[in-house]
Amino acid sequence: MTRFAVSAREDDGATLLRVALAGGGDRELRIEGPDAPHYEAFHERLAAAFGTRRPRQMETVRYAGVEPPWRPLITANLHPRILVGYGDPAVLRTDAGWLLVATSNDAPDAFPLLRSDDLDHWAPAGFVFPEGATPDWTSAGPRHGDFWAPEIARVGAEYWLCYTARDRDRLLAIGLARAPSPLGPWRDNGEPLIAGSMIDAHILVDEGQPWLFWKKDSNSLWPRPLAALLGDHPQLIDALFDDERDRRSAAFCAAVLPWANTRRPMERYFLMQPLIRAAIENWSKVRAVLAASGVAAPIVADMTTPVFAQRLREDGRALVGERHQVLSNDLDWEGHLIEGPFVWKQEGRYWLFYAGNDFTSPLYGIGVASAERLTGPYVKQPEPLLRSTETWLAPGHASVARGPTGKPQLFFHAYHPGSGGYNEFRALLTVGLDFTDGFIATKEA
């Protein structure tokens, strides 16, 4: 049975972790700082010393054949204060052209705005919440804030922006702001619209009524409880994982958990990455073994990530009526999560685009489901609509807007080959959509 012992001490701004494998070695490994590259370097050294999973282990890209007709739109940074590119891109067509708003993570300026007259040339147009102007209820600033997945929709005479941020307790919540113009100025509601590990909001105005779609971030809830369970029941490690690399990864995460619990949310995520990746690679077996164990019911429940829909009150300050669960992760390719819902009405049907699997992995992709009613039932296409290619990795979190010809186009982010992870640059791409007989395919935009 694989067991580790881990202790930590601080050393001039770095952390030294003493890692001992029962019956097989003792090393002191340095974590130089609190950011993703520091933890990636640590996991590389840990893997070399103890045979755990390497950081961002790149699974075999499953796409084979000719490159799909994706069109890159923004492939490099356009402004020195846009620090992480154009992840979770929401594109809105307006009378003046196209507007893009994107994730900013913990950058000082939240949610970059860009404009385009033709989709090929983009110009920065400020930020939704410039440095010092983030809503009072949010945690902000480098290594404190996380501003994710913004989206702008026209609702009546106003523009509403929904977004994800961490509250003062560093828990993820959904906020809403409004403006007379898609470029602002933005006035926040002053408190979260939904709290409690909820993310990735999307506003759909259907027959004049605004609806909110969003995802419960359950996938952020199970890794540390699973690590704790494996610390208390180490015999489960061998039952969950066949590969010795995965067993060692799980055992390390169980041992490092007490120290991980003292770190900020993103550092906890970085520390649990080997366990998350091991679980994803063995997803069906992991869930089945845990379900049969009799001691993991809450963990198994959090391994399902539901997407909800509910009506928004006319003033955008509360949800009203019944809450509907419209989707969850139940296909093999989706792994431990689905996220980033976006609904488009076409050909008399509602088309729900979503991302699945882990955003750091080439297995991440974009799926689609359709329904005759806004609240479902939604029927998924069984395979991803978009998946990694040799040229672009981990396409995700799509939005839809009409292109220059008036036909709908899908807009999404992807990593350059060899990259991927938190605060890594994500490019903006587009592809055309073909709606035929209740099925959707991509085509040249």
Cβ 116 vs Cβ 98: under 8 Å: yes
Q: Are residues 196 and 287 in the same domain?
A: no
Per-residue tens of pLDDT for the chain, all 445 residues: 789 999 999 988 899 999 999 887 899 999 999 999 999 999 999 999 999 998 764 455 566 567 899 999 999 999 999 999 999 999 999 999 999 999 999 999 999 999 999 999 999 999 999 999 999 999 999 999 999 999 999 999 999 999 999 999 999 999 999 999 999 999 999 999 999 999 999 999 999 999 999 999 999 999 999 999 999 999 999 999 999 999 999 999 999 999 999 999 999 999 999 999 999 989 999 999 999 999 999 999 999 999 999 999 999 999 999 999 999 999 999 999 999 999 999 988 999 999 999 998 888 999 999 999 999 999 999 999 999 998 999 999 999 999 999 999 999 999 998 888 999 999 999 999 999 877 888 988 8
User: How far apart are alpha carbons 81 and 129 in whole angstroms?
Assistant: 13
User: How far apart are alpha carbons 236 and 53 in whole angstroms?
Assistant: 18
**Angle at CA 389, nearest 5°, toward 385 and 395?**
50
Q: Are residues 370 and 274 in the same domain?
A: no
**pLDDT given for residue 161 in this prediction:** 98
Q: Are residues 311 and 268 in the same domain?
A: no
Side-chain-facing half-sphere of 424: CA atoms under 13 Å: 19
Q: Are residues 318 and 409 in the same domain?
A: yes
Q: 217, 267, 339, 358: which one is catalytic?
A: 339
Q: CA-CA-CA-CA torsion for 126, 129, 130, 133, nearest 10 degrees?
A: 150
Q: Are residues 257 and 289 in the same domain?
A: yes
Q: Is 88 a catalytic residue?
A: yes
Domain that holds residue 267: 4-59+245-297
**pLDDT given for residue 63 in this prediction:** 62
Q: 88, 151, 302, 424: which one is catalytic?
A: 88
Q: Are residues 343 and 420 in the same domain?
A: yes
Number of structural domains in the chain: 2
Q: Is 136 a catalytic residue?
A: no
Q: Please report whether residue 373 resides in a domain.
A: yes
* Residue where a domain terminates, one of 255, 277, 297: 297
Q: Please report whether residue 358 resides in a domain.
A: yes
Side-chain-facing half-sphere of 149: CA atoms under 13 Å: 27
* Residue where a domain terminates, one of 257, 279, 297: 297
> 126-129 — which CB contacts under 8 Å span 24+ positions?
126/183, 126/184, 127/81, 128/101, 128/161, 128/163, 128/177, 128/184, 128/186, 129/186
